[in-house]
Chains A and B, each alone.
Chain A
Amino acid sequence: MKEHAVLEMKNIHKSFPGVRALQAVDFCLCEGEIHALMGENGAGKSTLIKVITGVYEKDEGEVYLAGHQGPVAIHSPQDAQRLGISTVYQEITLCPNLSVAENMFIGRGQGAGLNWKKMNADTDRILQSLDIPAKAAQQLGSCSLAVQQMIAIARAVDMECKVLILDEPTSSLDEQEVQKLFRLMRDLKQKGVGIIFVTHFLDQVYEVCDKITVLRDGKLVGEYAIKDLPRVQLVAKMLGKEMDDLSDIKGENGSSDASSAENVYEAEGLQSNAGIKPFNFHIRKGEVNGFTGLLGSGRSECVRAIFGADRVLRGKVKKNGKEVKIHKPIDAMKNGIAYLPEDRKRDGIIGDLSVRENIILALQNLKGFFKPFSKAQTYRFAEEYIRLLDIKTASADTPIKSLSGGNQQKVIVARWLLANPDYLILDEPTRGIDVGTKVDIQKLVLKLASEGKSVTFISSETDEMLRTCSRLVVMRDRQVVGELSGEDLTQNKIMSTIAGGEAKS
């Protein structure tokens, strides 16, 4: 084993039916090191993590841990935990119906006797030391997602792990929370813990990591020290090709100045039961607009009200100038509106159904109960979009839940494209997706606009929105506080409008 290494993996192979997920991958993590693991969709990052943590059994290769002679065998997550490997996953894997303290200590072999008082006291101590706004006796489900994430990390930290794996920990955190997390990570680094940081946020990688390992298509591209690898080169290695200059993509598709076109959709005084104040909204044919604001400012709630996903309380809605009633999703769909939800696991994918069934579902609903598509037709639709969006799947019949996150997202996009809407709402379409697909989706948005479709694009990465949108609706604390377009579309202007500078209505 290398000097100072806490974890070393050699020549790891792992295959699934039809897919070689990992081929001859090496990985080395040293003491007190924050090591980023990066790669595109399907590159093998999740698989590698699951091999380390015992969720999957590797087909070939060896794993070495500091303090153990010879290769170790990790057959289950309990083994991994025992060996000092802790993981915090992207999707919260705690129990929302139990209290914070119970979640902290669950499954850690306390024996039959539980000392509640001690458990609660210890938990409060840990929460305080990490500055997490929660109480030991609180029900976990009542904390925000971000806080739940931090509690998950606190649990891993408390178990005195030697290897801490953070799989997309910052996806649901805002700026301040990300900084808290980084402080935690640096503390642990001092203590000699090795941290594997899997993320798509380039900025964050460069802020806190020491080394980067890049995977592509299941193979190891290389291991690099942060200072030796500038951003552009990193992205190039991940994609395996030279990166397009992202700022030019708008130019490619022509100006999306659609100020002369008519309104495709208009809403006046629209309010749903999700707690946002009544708002007005309009979007023109061929226009791309976005909603921006801090986490929790009500962006998703606005677009859900437009789609009828939440119960609409009041408001007048016009489609193509004609007044219509949109009270539930099918109304919106019949009026040519599509909605890609923020939480694809909870609201988007129908896990056990195949890729092909997921793709045709929206169009099928529009067609009606008594007119099912023939099987041959569904295969044709599926093939078309698998090719068009480059969806990586073993076949059209694979259950969608076995695809990687990014490919699942592509399937949902395909579903709505197939329904041929006039107005497409995309809520966080690029979250948890690799760089290459992110670019593809942004290019797609602009292409749709140039074809005369309207798009609402919501993303927590404002530069994505700046690249694609011609108008941004700014939200703060569940109400619309401003609208920006033209020259005002800069990061600074956005931030000041959110913060409460001059508002342009």
Chain B
Amino acid sequence: MTNTSKKQFQISDLFRSQLMIPVIAILILTIFNLIIGPSFFNIRLDHNNLGNAVLSGNLITILDNGSELAILAIGMTLVTAASGGQDISVGATIAIAGSAILKILCGSDPHPETMQAPIIAAFFVGVIAAMLCGAFNGILVAYFRIQPMVATLILFTAGRSIAAWINNNELPIIKDAEFGYFGGFIPGIAVPTPFLIAVVCVAIIFLVMKFTNLGLYTQSVGINENAARLIGLNPVLIKFLTFVILGVCVAVCGLIKVSRISSINYSVIAKDIEMDAILAVALGGNALSGGKFNMAASILGAYVIQYLTTTLYRMKVPADALPAYKAVVVIVLVVLSAPTVREFFSKMGRKTRSSRREAA
């Protein structure tokens, strides 16, 4: 007897879902912060120095500063799923995209009084630049079949120098307040713009996954490339596409990051963000070796990482020890999300359920 109709939605399904891992992480962090002092969660509506209404509070900080990572997690999840490897050049390519944007806006003078071009044009150029980087990585991985981490090592090493070269090693600064809207606040909107941008990106990717076969094809290629090819898919094209999509995500992150400071610092911008992006994908319970993935879990994972950082700042953990604390928490979370541990818990769950049934 096979049950071919849609399964009834059960709470136990939710528990077994990948989404549970970042959700449990959030719960743990929330309980922890509640114990230390619930004032952590206060949200206030204030006015900033320009007289605009802005929301502030630790939760807002998390949503604000975690946005770039969430956007990056979208692209990194797809790349990981299709190629079974990670792109470690994202920090450097963010620098390239940001540098390109600033170059268009500044023109020949690094400290112009007004912007030399509309922001939309600059952003467009940034997207092209980032997509070219993505295409470069994509060709190496998809066509030449080089391991992703090795292929992306090139841009990881050379990217920031390229970014600096774009602007002749100078530090461009934009004085227009308008440009700062993307990394800060749009006058009249109290919610931080990066979060709004992240929401838009998440909405776009979910629409794309719903109205195209991107999810299905990416997973098929990642799980069994041979079989996928014999069903008519083009694994080279699909892997390439995931890298280009990551390029678009990189461009958006680049815009937000340079907009935050209306300037750029080539060696410091988005430093180590690639590690956090990979971590977000892993915290979402996705296998780093590729295959099936859950996009929502990765995005949530990105916010978990930011949540953790904000919590550690709040606890005034000494600067030297901060990386160690972060590492410990991450190890615990990743171990808890490992298949062996989850099996153990689900076995326990089954045992208690069956004993309850017997007792009934």
Contact = CB atoms under 8 A, between A and B. Distances in A.
Answer yes or no: A and B touching, Cβ < 8 Å.
yes
A370 B4 contact: no
B227 A395 contact: no
A364 B227 contact: no
B223 A353 contact: yes
A79 B231 CA distance: 42
A307 B210 CA distance: 31
B232 A352 contact: no
B230 A386 contact: no
B2 A351 contact: no
Given A369-B212, A372-B212, A397 B232 contact: no
Contacts of A347: 224, 226-227, 230
Contacts of A266: none
B49 interface: no
Contacts of A329: 229-232
Contact of B227 (A348, A370, A394): A348
Contact of B216 (A364, A391, A393): A364
B219 interface: yes
B213 interface: yes
Given A309-B230, A329-B229, A350-B224, A372 B213 contact: yes
Contacts, number: 90
Contacts of A319: none
Given A372-B211, A372-B213, A379 B292 contact: no
A350 B228 contact: yes
Interface in A350-396: 350-353, 357, 361-362, 364-366, 369-370, 372, 379, 382-383, 386-387, 391-396
A364 B219 CA distance: 14
A330 interface: yes
A13 to B, nearest CB: 14
Contacts of B214: 369
Interface in A303-351: 307, 309, 328-330, 333, 339, 341, 346-351
Nearest to A396: B4
Interface string B180-223: 00000000000000000000000000000011111011011001
B2 A392 contact: yes
A391 B1 CA distance: 10
B213 A369 contact: yes
Interface centre among B7, B220, B234 (most CB of A within 10 A): B220
A348 B224 CA distance: 9
Contact of B292 (A328, A352, A372): A352
B223 A379 contact: no
Contacts of B228: 350
A352 B223 contact: yes
A365 B233 contact: yes
Contact of A365 (B2, B7, B224, B232): B232
Given A346-B226, A350-B224, A369-B213, A330 B4 contact: no
Interface in B37-80: none
Given A350-B224, A369-B213, A372-B213, A361 B3 contact: no
Interface in A387-427: 387, 391-397, 415
Contacts of B211: 370, 372
Nearest to A370: B212
A56 B137 CA distance: 43
Contacts of A364: 213, 216
Given A346-B224, A350-B223, A370-B213, 15 more contacts: A330-B232, A330-B233, A333-B232, A339-B230, A346-B226, A348-B227, A349-B227, A350-B220, A352-B292, A372-B212, A379-B5, A394-B2, A395-B7, A396-B4, A415-B231
Q: Which 3 A-B pairs have the closest CB atoms?
A: A330-B232, A365-B232, A383-B4
Interface of A: 18, 307, 309, 328-330, 333, 339, 341, 346-353, 357, 361-362, 364-366, 369-370, 372, 379, 382-383, 386-387, 391-397, 415
Interface of B: 2-7, 210-214, 216-217, 219-220, 223-224, 226-234, 291-292
30 contacts: A18-B3, A307-B230, A328-B232, A329-B232, A341-B227, A341-B230, A346-B226, A347-B227, A347-B230, A349-B227, A350-B220, A350-B223, A352-B291, A361-B216, A361-B231, A362-B231, A364-B216, A365-B233, A366-B232, A369-B214, A372-B210, A379-B4, A379-B5, A379-B6, A386-B2, A386-B4, A391-B2, A394-B2, A395-B2, A395-B3
